[in-house]
Structure 1
Amino acid sequence: MAEQGDVCYTFEAAIEMATKMEEEGFRNYLTALRTVKDKAARQIFKEAALDELEHKHQLEKTLVEGEMKGGGELQKPVPTMNLDYVLAKKELRPDSDAREALAYAIHLEKGAIEFYQKMSNGCEGAPMGALFQKMLADETRHLQALEDLYEAHFMAEN
C-alpha cells in the first residue's frame, strides 16, 4: 500500500483505499496458504484470510449503503504486545511452521493497524472517522489474538 499521511479523503476514496488494503491482505494470506504445508500454519492463514474477506465485504457494503451498519457503539483498539518488534518477518517456505506463520501474520496485521490508525487520525471528526476507528479496533483484536496464540505456544515462560 502506498504511503499516505494523516489526511482525510472523500468518503468514497477512503473506503476504496481501505478495500484495496484489505484485498492486498487477503491476497498475502492466500499466497501464504498456498505456500506452506504445515497444517497449523495453514489454519492460521486460512482464518486470517477469511477475516480479511469479512473486512473487505463490510467496506464494500459501506460503499453501497453510504455508512457502516451494526456495532452501534464505538469500539476501542485493544492493547497488544507489539511482538512485531521482536519477531523477524521471514519469507515463507513450504516447510514454514506455525511459529513462522504467526510471525508473518503478526507483521501483516500490524501493517493494517498502521493503515487504519493513519486513516482514523486523518479523518477524525469526519463522517468516516468512526468507521476507521471500528476497523482499527477490529485489527487490534486480530493482532491480539495472534499474539496470544504465539505467547501460549512459543514464549519461554509457557
Structure 2
Amino acid sequence: MSDVCYTFEAAVEMAVKMEDEGFRHYLDAMRVVKNKGAREILRDAALDELNHKHELEKALVDGQMEGGEGLSKPVPTMNLGYVLAKQELRQDSDARQALAYAIHLEKGAIDFYKRMATGCAGAPMAKLFEQLLADESRHLQSLEDMYEDHFMTEN
C-alpha cells in the first residue's frame, strides 16, 4: 500500500473506512466494559472517530478537505503504545485498560495515515493524509497525556 496513491475520492473513502472501523472497535468495547470511567473514555474516543468520519464524508460531498492547513504537522507523542500491552477489553476492564486500548487504536490509525502519506508523497493526496495524520497524532497525544496524568507513577 505504501507505493500507491489514490484519487481524492478513493483516498477519502479509505479514510472513511478507517475511521468507521475505529468507531466500531470503540462501540464494541463499550458494549463489553462495565466500568463507568472506562466507558466514558471509550465513548469520547468513539465520538471523536464519528466526527472524523463526518468531516471526511463532507469532504466527499464538497470534493475537497476543508481547513487544517496550519495544523498539518504531526505532534510528538510519548509512544506509549510500545510500552503498554495490547489487550482486548473485558467486562472488568478499568479506565487504565480502556486508555491503553484507545492508545493502540490511535497508533494503528497513525500508522495507516503515515503509510498513505508516504505512498502519495508529491501528489495532491499527500496533503490530505498528512492532515489526517496530524489530527490523529493530536488525539493520541491527548490520550497519552490523560494516561500520564492519571496512571504514571511520578504523578
Task: State the TM-score, normalized to the length of structure 2.
Answer: 0.95
Q: How does 1:9-48 map to 2 (within 5 A)?
A: 9-48=6-45
Which residue, 70, 76, 98 being the options, matches 2:67? 70
CA contact (8 A) 1:78 1:137 kept: yes
CA contact (8 A) 2:27 2:46 kept: yes
Q: How far 1:71 sits from its partner (Å)?
A: 2.7
Q: Are 1:133 and 2:130 counterparts?
A: yes
Q: What CA distance in whole angstroms lies between the structure 1 residues aligned with 2:17 and 2:61? A: 16
- The equivalent residue for 2:142 is 145
Query: Which structure has greater helix proportion?
Result: 2
Q: How far 1:125 sits from its partner (Å)?
A: 2.2
When the two structures are aligned, how many residues end up with a matched partner? 155
One-letter identity of the residue aligned with 2:35: D
Structure 2, unmatched stretches of 5+, are: none
Q: What CA distance in whole angstroms lies between the structure 2 residues aligned with 1:10 and 1:70? A: 19
Q: How far 1:74 sits from its partner (Å)?
A: 4.6
> Cα gap change, 1:102/1:6 in structure 2, threshold over 3 Å: closer, same or farther?
farther
Task: State the TM-score, normalized to the length of structure 1.
Answer: 0.94
- The equivalent residue for 2:117 is 120
Structure 1, unmatched stretches of 5+, are: none
- The equivalent residue for 2:107 is 110
1:80-127 alpha-carbon deviations (Å, 9 max, x no partner) = 000011100111111100010000000000000000101111112222
Query: What RMSD, in angstroms, separates the aligned Cα atoms of the two structures?
Result: 1.1
Q: What CA distance in whole angstroms lies between the structure 1 residues aligned with 2:116 and 2:16? A: 13
Q: Which secondary structure state, in structure 2, belongs to the residue aligned with residue 25 of structure 1?
A: helix
